[in-house]
Amino acid sequence: MSATSATPFDSLSALCKDMSALSGISGILGWDEQVMMPPGAAALRGTQKAALAAVLHDKATSAELAAAIDAAKQTPDLGPFERATVRDAERGYKLAVGVPADLERKIAANEVASVQAWVAARENDDYSAFKDQLKETLALTKEKAEAMRPGEKPYDTLIDQFERGMSAERLTEIFDGISSPLKAILEKVLEMKEKKGKKVHPALCGGEEWDVTRQAELSKDICQMLGFDMDKGRIDVSVHPFTGGAGPEDVRITTRYSKELPFEGIMGTVHETGHAMYEQGRNSKYDGLPVSDALSMGAHESQSLFWERMIGQSVGFWEAVLPKIHEKLPHTKDVNAEDLFFAVNQVNRSLIRVEADELTYPFHIILRFELEMKLLNGTLDVKDLPQAWKDGMKQHLGVDVPSDKLGCLQDIHWPSGAFGYFPSYSLGAMTAAQLYHHLKTEVMPDVEEKIKSGNFKEIKDWLKTEIHEVGSLYPSLDELLEKVTGEPLNTKYFLQYLDEKYSKVYS
């Protein structure tokens, strides 16, 4: 199409695709930083990311983009995906235009320094060595939030970056609503566990037999079995598992393996495969446009947790992958699917979020939500974070935190400036439960048989049609859920799912 015949929407699309391509480059730099980059390159990487952030900021706040948005808004007869593209382009422009380019540069450079400082502090269990860096990261994050939406509460602005339309007030209502019933379920399950007295099969308790190379081979087999396209992706190892890359054609999974925690690598891979298949399943017709992006982090987490928990922690899943388990890990030859189901669904009051079970995990999120809300509104000083963390873990889970490495230094989110991200994990878990309930009762009554037989394609295709390809067509998670399941987010399915499942585990 010639420049003279291009429509206003075509012009806007071209600008959006350029920014998407640059964001993809940033994604590869971020992946390399955590997977391949030598430590000595940290300063250079900070310079590179700062320069790229400045270029992106210039494009995201340009007069050309503003004009293209205005022209596209006046275009009649746009389809729903095109209208959503214009809506989200305008939203992104309004958020970006208030942020000075110099601030974006500072944030990008600071992120590299902050993450590197966190890695060292975590390794040495030395919060004091990271405290000042975290204070700087927090200050820059707050400054950006205030620039994006002057007069708004900074924490609400940050939450909205990850979960559109969400606020601290509504999150407080959601978490207050599940806290008491969840604690009741937890206490009941722990009592059942104590009475039952059943032990995890010795072959599944970790040890030298859990060779990490074999674990990696098994994880790769499983992610391909679920539907991950290795021609457009890869799996590597990082300190903190994540899914990144440059877009649907280049999706990169990372996980980590442990002989002492034998299911960490496998279940981490299943989790990240859920994220990765969302990315690979995005709408190719609108590739590079805002509407093809994932709706929110809650939506994204719903996909990873759907596969990890509803699928990967079911008896049927372990029946499907049992032959591969026996092949890659011969010492498990006497283990059956029920043994594996029991092993991966253990409930304990744990210190580490990424190792927590479904029942205790929400309390890890509630704690982080409470702490970062206080950090952002100024009622908690960075220097007091370790003690506040310890107090919160005691209150919510009844556990004592012996070190900061096992406490406030365990996650990468705050070092990287991702304040407001954590609630998305539990919103995703609740969404996953609601999606699975709808799938099982209204769409695919034989879903458990499909899982047992290893037929994951139909499940993946349903998610692709209903969630992945829809992207950000709808402006909120509630509206997406209403379209797919007939109602907005309803926490009753989450509580019901947990109660039924863990009553079965310890019956």
Phi, psi torsion values for 379, nearest 5 degrees: -90, -5
User: Where would I find the beta strands (DSSP E) of 189-340?
Assistant: 233-237, 243-247, 250-255
Three-state SS sequence of 78-116: CCHHHHHHHHHHHHHHHHHHCCCHHHHHHHHHHHHHHHH
- State the catalytic residue, choosing from 272, 308, 355, 372: 272
The sign of the torsion formed by the CA atoms of 257, 262, 266, 271 equals negative
CA atoms of 81 and 468, how far apart (whole Å)? 14
Q: Are 131 and 411 in contact (CB under 8 A)?
A: no
| Residue-by-residue DSSP string for 176-213 | HHHHHHHHHHHHHHHHHHHHH-----GGGS-STTS-HH
> Would residue 272 show up in a list of annotated catalytic residues for this protein?
yes
Q: Are 251 and 280 in contact (CB under 8 A)?
A: yes
CA atoms of 87 and 85, how far apart (whole Å)? 5
CA atoms of 218 and 269, how far apart (whole Å)? 10
Report the catalytic residues.
272
